[in-house]
Every structure is written in C-alpha cells, then in structure tokens.
Amino acid sequence: QKVAILRYGKLVATKETKETSPNELAALMVGNPINPTAVTKRESGPVLMELLNVSTDTQHQSKGLQNVSLRLCSGEIVGLAGVSGNGQTSIADLVAGLITPSQGKLHLDGKPINRWSPRQSVLSGIARIPEDRHHAGTIADFSLTENSIIERYRDQPFARHGWVNWQAAVGFTQELIKQYDVRCPGPDTRIRFLSGGNMQKLILGRVLQNDPRVILAHQPSRGLDIGAVHYVHKELLEARQKGAAILLISEDLDEILKLSDIIHVSSEGRVSPPFQRGKVTPTELGGWMSGAAFAKQESMHAS
C-alpha cells in the first residue's frame, strides 16, 4: 500500500502506491526526472566489422558458433537477444580477440583479419563493456587509475620510455570521474569499493573517451539501478550518433527492442536473420529464442 524511497542512505519520500507512478518513483530514487530515451532513426554507414560464416569451438558454458554471419555498421546498434549460454559469449569473445574462429572469417573495413588478439582488437579501435564488470572488466584491488588505463598502459600518453606515465594516467582518470559522474573518494580508490553503477560508469568512460569505432556492449545495464541504466543507454546512443558501430548483447528483451536498429537472436550457437527496428514483435523473437523458428527455417530449406 505504501512505498518508501531511499537515496544515499536517507529516506527521501514515502508514497501511497495508488497515488504514484514508476516515473515518479524513478525520479525520487535518482534525484532528478528521468526522461524517456529518444531513439531517432539514423542511416547506417559503411560496414566496419563483419563475421562471415564463422564457427567456433564450445567455450566453457557458452555454445560454440555454427556458421554465423553478422555485420556491424557505422552509426548502427545491432542487438543480439537470446537466453544465456546460446553462443553470445563466443560472439563477444570473437569480436574482442579472445578467441579465433575454427571456420569462417572476420573482416575489418572489408579486409580479412589474419592475426587476431585482444591487443589487435584494441589497436583496431574496438572497445568492450564486458559481461562481468567484476571479473572481466576490472581488477578489484587495483585503483581507479590502474583500471582506467588497463587496456592502454602501453600506449601514449600513458607510456613513456617503457614506463607508465602516472601523471597522465591520473589526469585521465580524474577527467573520467568528473565527466561520467563516478562517485568515489578519488582516483587512488580501489575499484572494489565502488557500487556496481559507479564501476560501470568508469568502464563506460574508459570505453567512450577514445571515440572507438566499434563498441561491444555485453549486458551493459545488468544489475544497475534505473538511473544508471538510463545513463548507460544515453551514452551508447550518443556514441551511435557519432558513428560508432555497436554490438549490444543483452538478455533484456526490452533493452534490445528499445535501442537496436537491427536485431538478431542467438540460439544453440546459431544466429537468426536480421530484423529491422519495429518490424518484429517480442512474440516472434521468442520463437527464435526457443529454437522453434530455426527448426522451421531449416525444414523449409530442406524441402
């Protein structure tokens, strides 16, 4: 019958359930009104990265890929929906250079990639928001500064004569903290002391500050409060507007439908045909997620 709202450990309001709304509660939680994220139609640019008939071996709990093709175009968000463990992690690892295909090819700017590694991925302008920010996105006992440059410590301006330029690294981190509103005591704070939302803001800033060409956003809003989710979505859409190609992998179908220009579904290591925004329903996507639509497609091809 009543709902109480806490913010920063303080009671800010108590409301009658029937006299409030989700939007009002969200605004009270974060301290300011949350306007719906506006997704405007945008013409996509050239293909920046492409997976062509790619197959991979099974990776831990993630299904190996089976003859998957996928295009990532400038200024476009490609959403990949599906139940966890159906090949999404293999696609993410492939884009990030953590694994290589057993069959098929990766193309970058229309040219086949012959050598692929995490280092090559970073140097090619590919940035990632990992699925697990605690174990794959940060090192818990490293400071914010160390985590901010963890993928670029060998590059200018953070490397100087074979040593880390800590002055540049701290300055970069201070800018991230300010620009992305990371709530923390300072750049020397160990990142494990941050909330999930603030940790994700730092990762997001680390990704976006270098104007990446391709962004791998794997479960970017998982476990975040409504204010942090809105912030992440806004920043991804701004990156899209600047021309980044974004691969959004999420189990949240609402997130996929809200942000994506093109939608694919992953099931048992297979990837569905592309669907344009607004041209597919949640029910239809559910059919692909369950595998039923794949079976129907395969039977039609067989006949």
Q: Which two tokens stand for residue 179?
A: 């620009």
- What is the spatial distance between Cα 70 and Cα 76, in angstroms, rounded to a whole number? 13
- What is the spatial distance between Cα 87 and Cα 80, in angstroms, rounded to a whole number? 10
**Judgement on whether residues 29 and 145 belong to the same structural domain of the protein:** no
Closest CA to 79 of 230, 226, 289: 289
**Judgement on whether residues 275 and 168 belong to the same structural domain of the protein:** yes
Name the residue range of residue 4's domain: 1-34
**Judgement on whether residues 76 and 142 belong to the same structural domain of the protein:** yes
Say if 135 falls within a structural domain.
Answer: yes
pLDDT at 205 over 90: yes
pLDDT at 228 over 90: no
CATH number at residue 129: 3.40.50.300
In the prediction, which pLDDT does 210 show?
87
3-state helix, strand, coil in the chain (%, to 5): 35, 25, 40
pLDDT band at 245 (very low <50, low <70, confident <90, very high): very high
Q: Determine how β-strand 10-16 pairs with β-strand 47-55.
A: unpaired
ω into 157 cis (within 30 of 0)? yes
**Judgement on whether residues 119 and 48 belong to the same structural domain of the protein:** yes
- What is the spatial distance between Cα 189 and Cα 224, in angstroms, rounded to a whole number? 21
- Contact yes or no for 43/75 (Cβ under 8 A): yes
With 0.75 as the threshold, say if the pTM is over it.
yes
**Judgement on whether residues 53 and 18 belong to the same structural domain of the protein:** no
**Judgement on whether residues 97 and 203 belong to the same structural domain of the protein:** yes
Q: Which two tokens stand for residue 123?
A: 């140097």
**Judgement on whether residues 2 and 104 belong to the same structural domain of the protein:** no
**Judgement on whether residues 80 and 141 belong to the same structural domain of the protein:** yes
**Judgement on whether residues 143 and 273 belong to the same structural domain of the protein:** yes
- The pLDDT tens digits for 276-303 are 998 999 999 999 999 888 888 877 766 5
pLDDT band at 3 (very low <50, low <70, confident <90, very high): confident
How many distinct helices (H) and strands (E) make up the chain?
Answer: 10, 15
**Judgement on whether residues 193 and 108 belong to the same structural domain of the protein:** yes
**Judgement on whether residues 105 and 187 belong to the same structural domain of the protein:** yes
Q: Which two tokens stand for residue 165?
A: 């330029």
* Residue range 1-22: mean pLDDT, rounded: 77
Q: Which residue has the tokens 């004569």?
A: 161
Say if 70 falls within a structural domain.
Answer: yes
Higher pLDDT, 38 or 293: 293
pLDDT at 33 over 80: no
Say if 39 falls within a structural domain.
Answer: no
**Judgement on whether residues 137 and 85 belong to the same structural domain of the protein:** yes
* Residue range 110-125: mean pLDDT, rounded: 94
Strand ranges for 113-244 from DSSP E: 126-129, 159-160, 163-164, 214-218
- What is the spatial distance between Cα 178 and Cα 205, in angstroms, rounded to a whole number? 10
Q: How many domains does the chain have?
A: 2
Phi, psi values for residue 124, rounded to 5°: -85, 0
pLDDT band at 38 (very low <50, low <70, confident <90, very high): low
- Contact yes or no for 6/12 (Cβ under 8 A): yes
Closest CA to 60 of 98, 114, 105: 98
Q: Determine how β-strand 111-112 pairs with β-strand 270-271.
A: unpaired
